[in-house]
Amino acid sequence: MKLLRLTLLLGLLPLLTFAQTDSTTLTKVGDKLPDFSFELEKGKTVSISDYKGKLILINFFATWCGPCNMELPLVQKQIWEKYKDHPKFSFFVFGREEGWDILDPFKQKKGFTFPMLPDLKRDIFKKFATQSIPRNIIADEKGNIVYQSIGFYEEEFAKMVTFIDNYMKTLSK
112 within domain boundaries: yes
* Overall number of domains in the chain: 1
| In a domain? residue 137 | yes
Q: Is residue 131 part of a domain?
A: yes
126 touches 97 (CB < 8 A): no
pLDDT tens digits for range 34-92: 999 999 999 999 999 999 999 999 999 999 999 999 999 999 999 999 999 999 999 99
Nearest-angstrom CA–CA distance, 107 and 84? 16
The answer to whether residue 13 is domain-embedded is no
Tell me, what CATH number does 67's domain have?
Answer: 3.40.30.10
Model's pTM, two decimal places?
Answer: 0.86
Round to whole Å and give the CA distance between 168 and 18. Answer: 26
**Position 10 in a domain:** no
Q: Are 88 and 171 in contact (CB under 8 A)?
A: yes
- Is there a domain that residue 3 lies in? no
Band of pLDDT at residue 14, cut at 50, 70 and 90? very low
Contact 129, 151 (CB under 8 A): no
Identify whether 4 is part of a domain: no
Domain holding 58, by residue range, is: 29-172
pLDDT class for 26, splitting at 50, 70, 90?
A: confident
Q: Does 9 reside within a domain?
A: no
